[in-house]
Structure 1
Amino acid sequence: MTTEATAEFEAHRPRLFALAYRMLGSASEAEDAVQDAYLRWSAADASAVRTPAAWLTKVVTNLCINRLTSARARRERYVGPWLPEPVLTHTADRRLGPLETAEQRESVSFALLTLMERLTPAERAVFVLREAFGHSHRDIAEVIGVEEAHSRQLHRRARERLGGAPRRHFAVDAAQRAKLVERFFAATLDGDVAGLERLLADDVVAWADGGGRATAARRPVTGRAKVLRYLLGLGTRPEAASVRAEFVEVNGEPAALFLVGEDLLAVVVPEIREGRVGAVRTVINPDKLAFAAGQLV
């Protein structure tokens, strides 16, 4: 492959990763999909490709559709709740693309990526291409090999499965949201019962993804009283005394990393709704922490 063809692919790599991650909810699988696309690009006659961006978008999207088909069976056997792989988005490389607007942050949020597990691979492809990347239905139909009317139908069905438009919990001022999240973690780490009671929504839900590789609740913990006990219980674990928290941005949201020394043990992402914590999503599966840990190096 020529130097020019390699440079052409590398210019598109960040966008292709951002697309694949939204499709798969997994940073490691997204990297694999992009690498597979690179191999196909290497084998193709790049000079004969009229529009490289469109060609590569089609290749990556269809690679992801194939991966989602097999991933569905694996996730049905997954131990406990499944959550996306966290990606640090405060770093200079901006792996997931621009996140300046509420809509852009929403497209990579843990809440939406988890909800998108409800979709078929084709529905997810149409939803991501339309909502996150603004492609027309004519272009999307070309990418996934369907009629334009079918693309519209898949998009409508995806929005219905997701409960209509994504929830805009990012509408809250970013600085205010970050303050609430820091107060939440401070109250949790200090064992401040009254503070947590004020911060937790009545219908708050806590998920923990250990994937059978780390000790975690196998089912969601629901309701303020149960989540309060769950959070306070975490602080009584023997390893809690040696853990330090680092506040960062994960998937466009204020979050915390919990580390022992240089080892990343957990990523915790609270979701703020109407000025309170409405959900807490914790990833402790070491396999899913590997990408974020690599970003810290």
Structure 2
Amino acid sequence: MSDKFEEHRRLLFGTAYRMLGSVADAEDIVQDAWLAWHRTDRTAVENPRAYLVRTVTNLSLNRLRSAQVVREAYVGPWLPEPLLTSPDIAEEAELADTVSMAVLVVLETLTPTERAVFMLREVFGYSYSEIAEVVGKSEVGVRQSAHRAREHVRARRPRFTAKAAEQREIVEKFRQACLGGDLGEVLTVLAPDIVSWADGGGIVTAARRPLHGADHVARWWLGVLAKSQAREGAMRPAEINGEPGLLLVHNGATVGAMTFEAADGRITALRVTVNPEKLRGLRA
């Protein structure tokens, strides 16, 4: 039983990360779960995996409820923390989808309980009775929460998304156009109604409101890159949150991450995280 926690550590981190959208908080939750596990009479635990997922979910619920106040006072757009992932994850469509930046952003709009119910039901396949035990609600209440959450996510998640290979090609075109400093080339890669969000947290200079429209987004990004002293190495391809993205690099250090939504050969949404407190998940 002593090795059971380590056996499930990655699963537990993934559970907490999906719940919280924060690498730092997810790591804290896993550590708290480890402490709780070692205080438990493990000989009485019939299903360690289920027990640990339940523990992490409850700890995450408590953290999520307290985090809401902090996020309401956050400077500029709040984005989930980017996470470097293996290229292999893109082949597992369900797994990649549940950590994609677009879906994590949608999950942020659910209540903490709805988020927990959605994750336990849609990702882990828990029964309604099992979820009711975890979140402390009736089975009827859990079914209602699951339905609301499922409909909410379905209505707001991207309806048309490029496959990984296609998105990788689109992102590379965007990267080359930006590095070439050609406004016209950048515009050909952006959808006319693109929206761009930048999360600097008030620590790093970033647009504090979403940017709308291809021309606005293109000019803003070319202006940012024009200030880079190492333009050629300023944007490096990487798998971020299960999808092709770009790391922003300055003087050899990773200073941000760009994630994308793409459809019909163009980028429809662009999210950029440059808050240095949110870059822990970009370490190799």
TM-score under structure 1 length normalisation: 0.90
> Match for residue 20 of structure 1?
16
| Alignment partners' CA distance in 2, 1:158 and 1:135 | 15
Q: Residue 118 of structure 1: SS of its match in structure 2?
A: coil
Q: Distance between the aligned counterparts of 1:155 and 1:138, measured in 2?
A: 12
State the distance in 2 between where 1:137 and 1:266 align. 39
Gaps spanning 5+ residues in structure 1: where? none
Aligned: 1:121 with 2:112? yes
Match of 2:139 in 1: 148
Aligned with residue 269 of structure 2, among 256, 279, 295 = 279
Give percent identity, aligned residues only: 46
Deviations 1:176-217 (A, max 9, x none): 211111001111121222222221112101111100111101
CA contact (8 A) 2:183 2:219 kept: no
What secondary structure, in the 3-state scheme, does the structure 2 residue paired with 1:107 have?
helix
**C-alpha separation in 2, matches of 1:222 and 1:292:** 27
Q: Is the 8 A contact 1:257 1:267 kept in 2?
A: yes
3-state SS, counterpart of residue 84 of structure 2: coil
**Runs of 4 or more off by more than 6 Å in structure 1?**
none
Which of residues 55, 58, 64 is equivalent to 1:62?
A: 58
**Structure 2: which 5+ residue stretches go unaligned?**
none
Which residue pairs with 1:130 in the alignment?
A: 121
| Equivalent residue in structure 1 for 2:227, among 237, 247, 253 | 237
Distance across 2 between alignment mates of 1:72 and 1:117: 10
The answer to whether 1:223 aligns with 2:213 is yes
Deviation at 1:168, TM superposition (A): 5.0
Write the deviation string for residues 107-152 of structure 1: whole angstroms up to 9, x where unpaired: 1111111121111100000111122222222222222222222111
What per-residue deviation string (whole Å, max 9, x for no partner) do you get for residues 264-287 of structure 1? Answer: 111111211232100111110011
Q: Give the secondary structure class of the aligned counterpart of 1:235.
A: helix
Q: Deviations over 1:220-252 (max 9, x none)?
A: 001112112112211222545475322110001
SS of corresponding position for 2:91: coil
Q: Which residue of structure 2 lines up, in the alignment, with residue 193 of structure 1?
A: 183
Question: Do the aligned partners of residues 173 and 115 (structure 1) sit closer, same or farther apart at CA in structure 2, a change above 3 Å counting?
Answer: closer
> In the alignment, which of 76, 81, 84 is matched to residue 80 of structure 2?
84
What is the distance in 2 between the residues matched to 1:238 and 1:69? 39
Which residue of 179, 202, 209 corresponds with 1:212?
202
Alignment partner, residue 181 of structure 1: 171
Partners of 1:21 and 1:27 within 8 A in 2: yes
CA distance in structure 1 between the aligned counterparts of 2:227 and 2:18, rounded to whole angstroms: 34
Q: Secondary structure at the match of 2:155?
A: coil
1:265 paired residue number: 255
Distance 2:36 2:228 in 1: 50
Q: Which amino acid aligns with 1:209?
A: D
Count of aligned positions? 284
